[in-house]
Structure formats: C-alpha cells, structure tokens
Structure 1
Amino acid sequence: MSQQDAVASTGFVVGDKDAEVKLAALKRTKFVAAAALGLCVVVFFVTKSLEGSHPWLAFVAAFAEAATIGGLADWYAVVALFKRPLGLPIPHTAIIPENQTRIADNLGRFIEVNFLAPGPVREKLNEVDFAALVADWLAHEERAAGLSRFVMRLVPQTLGAIEQSSLRDFVAQRMLEQVEKVQVAPLAAELLSAFTDDRRHQKLFDEFTKVVGRFLADEQALAVMREKIREELPSLFNLFRADAYLLKKIVASAGSLLEEVRADPDHPMREEFDRFVRKFIERLRTSKEYARRAEQMKQGFLARPEIRDLAHDMWESLRRFIEQDAASENSMIRAHLANMFVEVGRHLASDPQIRADMNQGFVVALASFVETQKSSVSKFIADQVKRWDLGQLTRLIEMNIGRDLQYIRFNGMIIGGLAGLALYTVERLFLIN
C-alpha cells in the first residue's frame, strides 16, 4: 500500500506514531462501548426471563433496558456526526460531511473575528521583543558574516538591475538639478568666511610672498625685467648701466619688504590683505553682480559635456570596484559589512529607547499587515477546509475527538440506566397498588 493510499484509508501518514496511538485508543474505546451496550442487552434479556422467580431482578432489568436505550441513542448521535447510521439516508445525519462548506466558512470567519482582530493581534505582538531578537541575531559574528556574504552575493544582480533601469540616469539628473539650485556666490562667501577664521588665509598670503621671492631670484625673470627697464630709460642712462642698478635696487627692496612681511604677523600689508579678503567676501554675499557672474560660471560649467559624463564615469568606476571587491576572497566591503552588522546589533542591544521604537514600528507594521490580509487568511483557511477529502476529514476529526465522544455513550448508558431505574422505582412505589 502506498503512502497516499494509507492516508486515504486511515486519515494519517504511515509512520505518524501519534496518529497511530490515537487510532488504536479510538478502536479500543469503541470496542469497550460496543461491548458495554451488548452487555446491557444481554442483562436485560436474562433478567427479564428470571424476573418471575426473582422479582428484585425487575429493577436490574429496568436499569439494563434504559441503559440500552440511552446507549443506542448516544451511539446514534455520535455516529450521525460523521456518517449515516447503518448507511440509512436519515435526515440530519452525516452532519460534518454534509456541512463541510458551511463549517469551512464559519471556521474562517471565526478565526478572522476572534484571532485576527486588531486588539488581540496587537496585544500578542506587544509581547514579542522583536528588536532584541534582531540585536541578538546581528551581534553574533558568524551570523553577521553570513549576512554580509548574502548581501555581497546580491551585488551583481543589483548592479545589473540598476544598469538595465533608468535609475542611474535618474540619480545623475537629480544630482545636477540639485547642484543647479545651489546659489554659488553666497556658498562661496560662507566657505571663504570659514576659511578666514583665525586668519588662516594668511597662510595663502605667505605662499604668495614665497612665490614672489622665487620670481625675484629667477635669472630669466630678472633678465626680462632688466630688458623692460632698459626700454623705458633714456639711452644716456643705459650707457652707465643704470638698468642694472635699478633692477638691483628693486629686487633688494622687494626682497627686504617680503622678509619683513613674513617676519611680522601684524605687518600693514597683512592687514591690507585682510581688508581685501573681507571686502571680497562681503561682495560675494551681497552683490547681485557677483551673484550673476557666479551663476553664469556655474551654468557654463554644468553645460560642459565632461560634467554630463562625470556621473557615468563615476558610476563605472564604482561598479568595477564593487564587483572586483565582491569577487575577492578578502573582500573589504564584506568585512566592513560584517563589522557594521555586529556593531548595529550591539548598539541596538544597549539602547532601550531604540529597541522600544523599533518594537513599536514592528507592531504597527505587522498589525497593519494582518489587518489588510485577515480576510485573505480567512478565505484561505475556508478554501483549504473545503478542498479536504470528506472521508479523510471525517477520519481526522473522529481520530482526534472520537475517543471523547465514545465516552458520551458510556455516560448515556449510565444516565439512562439510572433514569430508568428511578422511573421504575417511582412506578412501583406510587403508581402500583
């Protein structure tokens, strides 16, 4: 016999020890109930036949007669739940098989109303510390490493999806649009203002003096300057090499001035440079002309094809780096991801406020999901019950609750017998002279 046939005939899978135990107990209880009913019948006939010689047996016969009737009535009631008694087409029998659709619908609605209502769902969800579970899971280094490996395995598919979609162009376009909205002149003013705090711009002035000093020490530059001086001087002065004299004086004076400026942090030239920078920053911040020129420069800069291709080049470089790193056995990104997951788990475990906020978010999200899906769950349960095989459904229900139902037959025989004995006693005491 195949496993499928075994399920169809017995209602459970072969090898299911719990089901086998339940089925054996049901069979034993049925046998005992049937034997008890048969015993009542035998006792009734025996006592009736001996009643004439032993009058007291009439009480036993009354008990046995009523117990037989009670046992038969309860047998009928129990059997009628699952099948037609003796196969007869008696109305209102085989209740479970005949009402499978109604039972399925009512079961689905019962679960939807009583188990999936917003109140009970939220109450149950509030008992679960989702954030602690997430924190414990992430803080485990092996799990964090496994999660990072899983994330990195998704990298090629993710990059491919981005390549095939318009997401890359969309992001590039949004970035350019955001840059276009930036007012360059005020931003430059703020940057320069931050740069000039504590006179840090004087370092730039120092570098300028060094450049001028190197220029004055350059032989080719000095030759060009001497030639310019010679051109401006009268010819008579050139006969006395006045150009060389003037050049020497100019270079010496300039060099001396540069040395003084570099040595004195409060030199007037430095103060003049400070005033120039402050004035320039103020003009950047307030001048409409400066703002217009800055915007023109920005638009011209953004209009260049190199800038339009910059986002594409940056994406290509980033994609190659990520793909190469993901394929490496010693992936830096994977290691950093694992460490990040562990740190997130530890910080989450140590911050009760974040955990409380996360748990509240989980409750709201899951409760909302259950609320939107509970009708589908109800329908799913009803559809599943409707698709159950009638015979298997009956056997499964009988196997799980049939043993308790058989005790109803015992109770019926006992209660019926006692009721019959009481009625017979009343009859003998009060109705018979």
Structure 2
Amino acid sequence: MSPPVQVLAPAPSVRIDIDAEAKLSALRRTKFAATAALVLCVLVFASAKSFEGTYPWLGFVAAFAEAATIGGLADWYAVVALFKRPLGLPIPHTAIIPENQNRIADNLGRFIEVNFLAPEPVREKLAEVDFSALVADWLADAERAAGLSRFVARLVPQTLTAVEQSGLRGFVTSRMLEQIDKVPLAPLAAELLSALTDDRRHQKLFDEFTRVIGRFLNDEEALATMREKIREELPSLFNLFRADAYLLKKIVASAGSLLDEVRADPDHPMRAEFDRFARTFIERLRTSKQYARRAEQLKRDFLARPEMKALAGDMWESLSLFIEQDAKAPNSMIRAHLAAMFVEVGRHLASDAQIRADMNQGFVVALSSFVESQKSGVSKFIADQVRRWDLGQLTRLIEMNIGRDLQYIRFNGMVIGGLAGITLYTAERLFLVN
C-alpha cells in the first residue's frame, strides 16, 4: 500500500486528504463527462438545425440542444470563475476565491467567533460534559493516582529550591511573626485558661504541683538546705538541743500530710482556693490593661529574640531535608500518602452528587469565561492562517473537495436550460406561428 499523498504549503501547511488521488481522479472523470455532454449538445444542435427543414420535429431537438448548450456554457463559466479567470481573460468578478482571500479569511474567522464561540452555545456544549465524573474516575484509579503522586513528588525539590532562591522563606517567616505579634496575648491566654478550668483540668495541674512539692520534701539535698536555713534563724541555745532537726521533721511531716489530704479530697478547701485564684487570674487577663501591657511586652521580647528566627530557619531546613530525602526514597511516605489521598478524593467525588454538580458548574463558568476572553484571538488566528495559505494550493484543495459537486451544476444547467428551451420553442410554435 502506497503512503498517503500529502501536499504541504510553506507555512502553515495545508494538508490534502489521504485519499487525494481518488478525489482528483473522480474530479477529472466528472469534468470530462460534463465537457463531453456540452460538446454533445453542440453536435446535436448543429445536426438538428441541418435537417430541420426536412424533419420539422427536429426543431424541438434543436431548441433543447441550443438552450442546453447555453446553460452548460453559463454554468461552466460560473464554476471556473470561482477558482480562476475563464480562458485567462481579465474579466471582472472572476477568480473569486484567490482575489478575495483576505476577505474570506476575515469573514471565516468572524463567522466562527460569532456562531461557534458565542457564550450560550459554548456554555450549553460544556454543560453536556460531566467533568467531575471524568476527574473522579481518573483519580479513583490507583495506578493513575500513584503516577500523579510521583509527578507531584518530583516537583517538590524544585519548589523548595525556588522558595529558597526567591527569598520567600524569609518573607513568610517575617509575615508569620508579624501576624503573631498582632494577636492580643492576654485575651487569648484567658480563653485558653478558661477552657482549661471549665473541665476542671486545672485541678490535675494542682495535683501534679502537690506531687512535685512532695518529691521536693523527700529530697535529701533539699532537706539539708532547709535545715541549714532553720539553723540560721534559731538562737544558738536551741541548736544545742538539735531543735532544727525537730522543726524540720515536723514541718515536712505536716506538709506531707496536708498534701496527701488535698490529693485525696476533691472538695478540699485548698482546691476551692486554687479555683478562686484561677478564676481571678483569668478575669484579670481578660480585663486588666496592666496585665495586657505586660503580656504584650513579654510577647514582643520573646519574638524579638534571635533564637526565634534561628528556630524558624532550623525548622524549615529540617522539613526541606526530610521532604527531599523522602521524595527520592523508593518507599516514599509522601508519595504513598498522596496516592491514597488522590484515590480517596476520587471516590468521595464519585459518591457526592452535590459536589459533582458544583464542580461541573465551576468548570462551565471557568472554561466559558476562558473561551469568551480568547475567542477574538481564535478569530484572528484563523484569519491569519487562511491569509498565509498558498493560493494555488488552496484553490486546488477546495476544487478537489467540492469541485465534483460543482461539475454536477453544469449537468443541471444543461438539463434545466434544455427544458427551458424546449418550453419556449413549444410556446412559440403554439402562439406565435398561428
């Protein structure tokens, strides 16, 4: 089988169909048949006129052939005038397609813009497509989801490098610290502590505090320090009788007993006192300007410390290193989680009709807006392409595809002309001869 025949224009190329040879052969045969029919009409006309005196009925044949010849010639002229100048003569309004290439280009581009890219037809056509179902089916496929996750993972190192080179990391860090600085600390702390006290979770902190004190009272070094302090405060006479040891023992025993009682009794007065302290402190945080000023100053001092920026930088570097190494690993956690997430998104999308409807509507709005904004460019593109087509090849291409149908116009012209001729000749014989 021979390869397809293609004729290409310089730039951009205009391709002739793959069955070009068959079309050209059919066009030649139809042209030959139409021309032969026209010549036959001429010969019939001449013969009928020659013997009309002997055979009067040949006048009808001559009238038919004469009108058919005229009709055939007129339609031959019309068909030829579309593509070239008949007989090479500079007759006005001939070679219509080559002479009007620019106008055809503009009108074709404008026609497509107005009729094919109008907002309503575009939206109606887009609304017929279930974009969300296509996305859902695509994402729900595990293999495709894995491929998409690999693609996203490959972009991660370039993204991190771009962030580093663009200075975005420093900008984001600065903006984050600025936003934190704008948050009032005292009311926020009051709300957090209020949420803690609502469930009495602060009493667990109180219990832990009593345990810490209990451990402190059982620490030998701590007891030795306390005994030394007591010794310094007591008169020398008392120290001779080791009153410091006695006092320390009593203090530790009493304190330990008190702490055990507090931990064992959920309604102990010390717990109620701790509740009142917590409520008072929270209220002051919420309403006191002095507390607010102190909290803001503490926050600013904390954020201004160089360790904060260094901490943010260390966190970014650690995160970047982890992401880069994991993205390159054969069993990447990031890729696995991304693939699972894509599959889950696809399944959820497939089962939620409302999300699909909203998504399809979004696609229609976005794509129709894009087409509306770009359709003038499409019109200009089409017009520019038609202007750049090679005239000779364009003419051959059009003639090859519709020329055979145009040749049948010549047959129709001969038939219609012949019938008109014989009708007129009959009327003449009936009304004028008498």
Instruction: State the TM-score, normalizing by the size of structure 1.
Output: 0.94
Answer yes or no: is the 8 Å Cα contact 2:14–2:394 preserved in 1.
no
TM-aligned CA deviation for residue 121 of structure 1 = 1.8
Matches within 5 A, 1:282-301: 282-301=283-302
TM-aligned CA deviation for residue 18 of structure 1 = 3.3
SS of the counterpart of 1:107? helix
Matches within 5 A, 1:2-401: 6-7=7-8, 16-401=17-402
The one-letter amino acid of 1:71's match is G
SS of the counterpart of 1:297? helix
TM-aligned CA deviation for residue 6 of structure 1 = 4.5
The answer to whether the aligner puts 1:406 opposite 2:407 as a matched pair is yes
| CA RMSD across the alignment | 2.1
> Which range is displaced more, 150-159 or 420-429?
150-159
Give the distance between the partners of 1:19 and 1:352, measured in 2 at CA: 49
Answer yes or no: is the 8 Å Cα contact 2:14–2:389 preserved in 1.
no
Answer yes or no: is the 8 Å Cα contact 2:67–2:414 preserved in 1.
yes
The one-letter amino acid of 1:34's match is T
Q: 1:166 to 1:4 in 2, by over 3 A?
A: farther
**Deviation sequence 1:359-398 (CA, Å, 0-9, x none):** 2222222222222211111111111101000011111111
SS of the counterpart of 1:92? coil
Give the distance between the partners of 1:8 and 1:407, measured in 2 at CA: 29
Q: 1:43 to 1:8 in 2, by over 3 A?
A: farther
The one-letter amino acid of 2:37's match is A
The one-letter amino acid of 2:302's match is F
Answer yes or no: is the 8 Å Cα contact 1:48–1:61 preserved in 2.
yes
Q: 1:310 to 1:234 in 2, by over 3 A?
A: closer
Give the distance between the partners of 1:73 and 1:8, measured in 2 at CA: 33
Answer yes or no: is the 8 Å Cα contact 1:141–1:338 preserved in 2.
yes
Give the distance between the partners of 1:208 and 1:5, measured in 2 at CA: 91
Give the distance between the partners of 2:61 and 2:8, measured in 1 at CA: 46
> Which range is displaced more, 120-129 or 399-408?
120-129
**Deviation sequence 1:196-249 (CA, Å, 0-9, x none):** 222111111111211221222222222222222222222222222222222222
Answer yes or no: is the 8 Å Cα contact 2:82–2:97 preserved in 1.
yes
Give the distance between the partners of 2:177 and 2:240, measured in 1 at CA: 64
The one-letter amino acid of 2:33's match is V
The one-letter amino acid of 1:263's match is A
Answer yes or no: is the 8 Å Cα contact 1:3–1:13 preserved in 2.
no
Q: 1:179 to 1:39 in 2, by over 3 A?
A: same
SS of the counterpart of 1:162? helix
**Deviation sequence 1:107-146 (CA, Å, 0-9, x none):** 1111112222222222222222222222222222222111
The one-letter amino acid of 2:120's match is G
**Deviation sequence 1:285-337 (CA, Å, 0-9, x none):** 11111111111111101111111233322221221111111111211111111
Give the distance between the partners of 1:349 and 1:288, measured in 2 at CA: 55
The one-letter amino acid of 2:382's match is I
Unaligned runs of 5+ in 1: none
Q: 1:117 to 1:12 in 2, by over 3 A?
A: closer
> Which range is displaced more, 126-135 or 176-185?
126-135
Give the distance between the partners of 1:263 and 1:353, measured in 2 at CA: 56
The one-letter amino acid of 2:25's match is A
Could you list the runs of 4 or more consecutive aligned residues of structure 1 that deviate by over 4 angstroms after TM superposition?
2-9, 11-14
Give the distance between the partners of 2:85 and 2:250, measured in 1 at CA: 130
Answer yes or no: is the 8 Å Cα contact 1:8–1:391 preserved in 2.
no
Give the distance between the partners of 1:302 and 1:226, measured in 2 at CA: 42
Q: 1:234 to 1:254 in 2, by over 3 A?
A: same
Percent sequence identity over matched residues? 82
Could you say which residue in structure 2 is the equivalent of 1:421?
422
SS of the counterpart of 2:199? helix
TM-aligned CA deviation for residue 408 of structure 1 = 0.7
Unaligned runs of 5+ in 2: none
SS of the counterpart of 2:117? coil
SS of the counterpart of 1:196? helix
Give the distance between the partners of 1:281 and 1:321, measured in 2 at CA: 41
Give the distance between the partners of 1:225 and 1:186, measured in 2 at CA: 40
TM-aligned CA deviation for residue 12 of structure 1 = 7.4
TM-aligned CA deviation for residue 22 of structure 1 = 2.6
> Which range is displaced more, 255-264 or 223-232?
223-232
Give the distance between the partners of 1:5 and 1:150, measured in 2 at CA: 38
Answer yes or no: is the 8 Å Cα contact 2:71–2:417 preserved in 1.
yes
Answer yes or no: is the 8 Å Cα contact 1:12–1:19 preserved in 2.
no
TM-aligned CA deviation for residue 20 of structure 1 = 3.2
Q: 1:7 to 1:369 in 2, by over 3 A?
A: closer
Give the distance between the partners of 2:323 and 2:88, measured in 1 at CA: 74
Give the distance between the partners of 2:18 and 2:84, measured in 1 at CA: 26
**Deviation sequence 1:238-284 (CA, Å, 0-9, x none):** 22222222222222212211211111111111111111111111111
Q: How many pairs does the alignment contain?
A: 430
> Which range is displaced more, 303-312 or 379-388?
303-312
